[in-house]
Amino acid sequence: MLGFVRRIRPVKRYIHMSTLLLAKERAIAVEAVLRASKLCQTVFQHLVSAETISKKDKSPVTVADYGAQAVVNSILHAAFPNDPIVGEEDSSELQQNKATCDKVVDLANSVVDSPMSTDEILKAIDLGMYTGGPKGRFWTLDPIDGTKGFLRGEQFAVCLALIVDGQVQLGVLGCPNLPVELSKPDGERGCLFTAVKGEGAYMRTFASTEERRIHVSNTSNPADALFCESVEAGHSSQGDAAKIASLLGITKPSVRMDSQCKYGVLARGDADIYLRLPVSATYEEKIWDHAGGSLLVQEAGGQTCDVYGKPLDFSLGRTLRANKGVVATNGKIHDQVMEAVRKVLAEKQ
Ligand SMILES: Nc1ncnc2c1ncn2[C@@H]1O[C@H](COP(=O)(O)O)[C@@H](O)[C@H]1OP(=O)(O)O
Ligand SMILES: [Mg+2]
Ligand SMILES: [Mg+2]
Ligand SMILES: [Mg+2]
């Protein structure tokens, strides 16, 4: 029994009034994601420098990854002590590096109500070692999704989802650098997306607790569609995406963005298609990279599946091992997009 988490005071609730299902889970998840997002912003302001980026030094993001996982896991565990967590990180490497560990402890303690010891923080991180699977309920966490975007000062997300009997029931994405209006990149930033299965998708800014319901776009002619893709060529085959765009008659250049922020942008109607096309035969997508985002798009009226049209299967452990890649659309052009995906993949056989 981890006694330390009892010392964390109950968190403030920000519940959308119409939410009946999973109201406590939603409120706790939102609070945990906001606190972890704050930690990431602090790390960026204090630890990321031009030198870090030029030397490709990943240590700031490492500190933020561990710190954010400690914060989210400890808040979840205090509220739901019986819920297991599938988290991306574990503490084994951190335990070998005292200097990094000390930074993680200071950072995590700067955003929780009651300070935790080093040992408590390491234990909180390792609450994330659950294997997942088909039965019961568990959380899945990506403390920083889009580590490269984080280091560039661009897009990253803190991603948390609740899975019950293999189905994603709740997703919360904190996107600290995402412009509230994509067309105003110099305007307000910081968006929090929330979806509960069957209850729609919502967005609020970091600065306000007011939520608004969001919907995917109405684009019904595939030629008018706007693609949203990874920045990293190694995460999705950009050559195949270009061929699919050409088959669909799309001429607009893609919006390139790191992390699950892409799902948020699609869910609020700023883009029409998000493709993650396999680059290797062996890579298995991780459940924490897609659970919250895929529910968000579905609840906003869109559709998600893998490149073969199979539903994403979150019941098989830590990865989506029965799936290859991801296709997410506004729904209205899903069939045409899937036809183009099939053609392009068939040409490669
Ligand atoms: N080889 C890979 N193929 C696909 N995704 C990957 C690969 N390596 C890491 N990722 C994960 O892809 C996500 C971001 O990719 P993108 O920005 O292209 O959508 C992150 O979850 C990243 O991990 P991480 O969470 O550690 O950043
Ligand atoms: Mg990730
Ligand atoms: Mg990550
Ligand atoms: Mg990672």
3-state secondary structure of 190: strand
- Residue 238 sits in the same domain as residue 304: yes
Give me the pLDDT at residue 1, please. 41
pLDDT above 80 for 6: no
Residues of the chain with pLDDT > 70, as a percent, come to 94
Bridge partner list, 214 = 201
Question: pLDDT, tens digit, for every residue of 148-158?
Answer: 999 999 999 99
**Which of these three, 214, 247, 269, is where a domain ends?**
214
- Residue 200 sits in the same domain as residue 231: no
Average pLDDT value for the chain: 93
Question: pLDDT, tens digit, for every residue of 231-268?
Answer: 998 998 989 999 999 999 999 999 999 999 999 999 99
Supply the residue whose CA is at minimum distance from atom 27 of ligand 1. Answer: 146
- Residue 188 sits in the same domain as residue 78: yes
Residue 269 sits in a domain whose CATH number is: 3.40.190.80
What does the alpha-carbon distance between residue 68 and residue 46 come to, in Å, rounded to a whole number?
A: 16
Domain count, the chain: 2
- Nearest Cα to 174, choosing from 36, 1, 5? 36
36, 83 in Cβ contact below 8 A? no
- Residue 196 sits in the same domain as residue 158: yes
Q: In this structure, how many other beta carbons lie within 10 angstroms of the beta carbon of residue 203? A: 22
- Residue 165 sits in the same domain as residue 190: yes
Residue from 144, 235, 283 to probe ligand 1 pocket by mutation (most atoms less than 8 Å from CB): 235
Q: Is 235 in the pocket of ligand 1 (CB under 6 A)?
A: yes
ipTM strictly over 0.90? Answer: yes
Give me the pLDDT at residue 128, please. 98
- Residue 204 sits in the same domain as residue 227: no
Question: pLDDT, tens digit, for every residue of 269-289?
Answer: 999 999 999 999 899 999 999
**Which of these three, 147, 179, 214, is where a domain ends?**
214
Distance from the alpha carbon of residue 144 to the mean position of ligand 2, in angstroms: 6
3-state secondary structure of 329: strand
- DSSP symbol at 173: E
As annotated, the active-site residues are 65, 147
- Residue 242 sits in the same domain as residue 208: no
| Residues annotated in a binding site for Mg(2+) | 88, 142, 144-145, 289
- Residue 111 sits in the same domain as residue 71: yes
Give me the pLDDT at residue 9, please. 55
Average pLDDT over residues 125-136: 98
pLDDT above 80 for 15: no
Residue from 287, 289, 290, 327 to probe ligand 1 pocket by mutation (most atoms less than 8 Å from CB): 289
Residues of the chain with pLDDT > 90, as a percent, come to 87
Distance from the alpha carbon of residue 146 to the mean position of ligand 1, in angstroms: 6
**Which of these three, 214, 243, 269, is where a domain ends?**
214
What is the full DSSP assignment across 280-303? SSS---BGGGTHHHHHHHHHTT-E
- Residue 183 sits in the same domain as residue 265: no
Q: Is 259 in the pocket of ligand 1 (CB under 6 A)?
A: yes
Residue from 66, 147, 158, 232 to probe ligand 1 pocket by mutation (most atoms less than 8 Å from CB): 232
- Residue 99 sits in the same domain as residue 16: yes
List Cβ<8 Å contacts ≥24 apart for 23-27: 24/79, 25/80, 25/162, 25/170, 26/170, 26/172, 26/194, 26/196
Question: pLDDT, tens digit, for every residue of 284-343?
Answer: 999 999 999 999 999 999 999 999 999 999 999 999 999 999 999 999 999 999 999 999
Distance from the alpha carbon of residue 88 to the mean position of ligand 3, in angstroms: 6
Alpha-carbon distance values, 143 to 60, 236, 289, 295, 323 (Å): 13, 21, 10, 18, 23
3-state secondary structure of 28: helix
- Residue 12 sits in the same domain as residue 86: yes
Choice between 144 and 233, residue whose per-residue pLDDT is larger:
144
Distance from the alpha carbon of residue 135 to the mean position of ligand 2, in angstroms: 23
Quick one: residue 257, left, alpha or beta (phi over 0 = left, psi -120 to 50 = alpha)? beta
Give me the pLDDT at residue 51, please. 83
- What is the number of the ligand 1 atom nearest to the C-alpha of 231? 18
The parent domain of residue 290 ranges over 222-348
Give me the pLDDT at residue 306, please. 98
Give me the pLDDT at residue 18, please. 46
Give me the pLDDT at residue 58, please. 84
Distance from the alpha carbon of residue 230 to the mean position of ligand 1, in angstroms: 9
Residue 103 sits in a domain whose CATH number is: 3.30.540.10
Q: Is 258 in the pocket of ligand 1 (CB under 6 A)?
A: yes
Question: pLDDT, tens digit, for every residue of 193-226?
Answer: 999 999 999 999 999 999 999 999 999 999 999 9
pLDDT band at 82 (very low <50, low <70, confident <90, very high): very high
- Residue 334 sits in the same domain as residue 254: yes
Give me the pLDDT at residue 52, please. 83
Choice between 49 and 195, residue whose per-residue pLDDT is larger:
195
Nearest bound ligand to the CA of residue 261: 1
What is the full DSSP assignment across 135-161? SSEEEEEEEEE-HHHHHHTS--EEEEE
